[in-house]
Chains A and B, each alone.
Chain A
């Protein structure tokens, strides 16, 4: 059976254009990878970034991990689609793919 909070994960990711599940908040990240991912998203022009702190919501993190089958944070969603973690988003930014995806 699916985790009871899966619907909450879906609600957050479907109703916001760019979401990052991270340690800490976009303004006060508590992990270097989360901080870097936020920096990259802002550099790519994201102004309305919705951050979800997994440190303060353990059960939600379990539901997220189940949904994406991705074992680490941060996790970034664009237009409801799981895009990846810090390394992937950074690489996509360097190639210009992230900017394209954000415009599309």
Chain B
């Protein structure tokens, strides 16, 4: 899965979702993603992560995506973090 494909997939989570994807190893199977989505509001972090992993379940199961480290934020949390 290319970084562009992964980004597009992650952004299908909900309208207004923005994903930033980093290929950690250059082999297109170890990724880190920062995802900002209004769909995360009011959810425990584990449920945020589970919602994201559902989107790439097939690729994780097949081994095409071997590792995906997530950082999830609501838009509000992200604004507070970057201070803008």
Do A and B form a real pair?
yes
Q: Tell me the A residues contacting B by CB distance below 8 Å.
A: 81-84, 87-88, 91-92, 95, 97
Residue in chain A with minimal CB distance to B46: A84
Using a CB-CB cutoff of 8 Å, which residues 6-62 of chain B contact chain A?
44-46, 49
Residue B2, interface by CB 8 Å: no
CB pair A97 B46 closer than 8 Å: no
Question: Interface size bucket, B side?
Answer: under 10
Residue B79, interface by CB 8 Å: no
> SS class of chain A's interface: helix, strand, loop or mixed?
helix
Knowing that A84-B46, A91-B45 are A-B contacts, what are 4 other residue pairs whose CB atoms are under 8 Å apart, sorted by A's residue number?
A82-B46, A84-B45, A91-B71, A97-B45
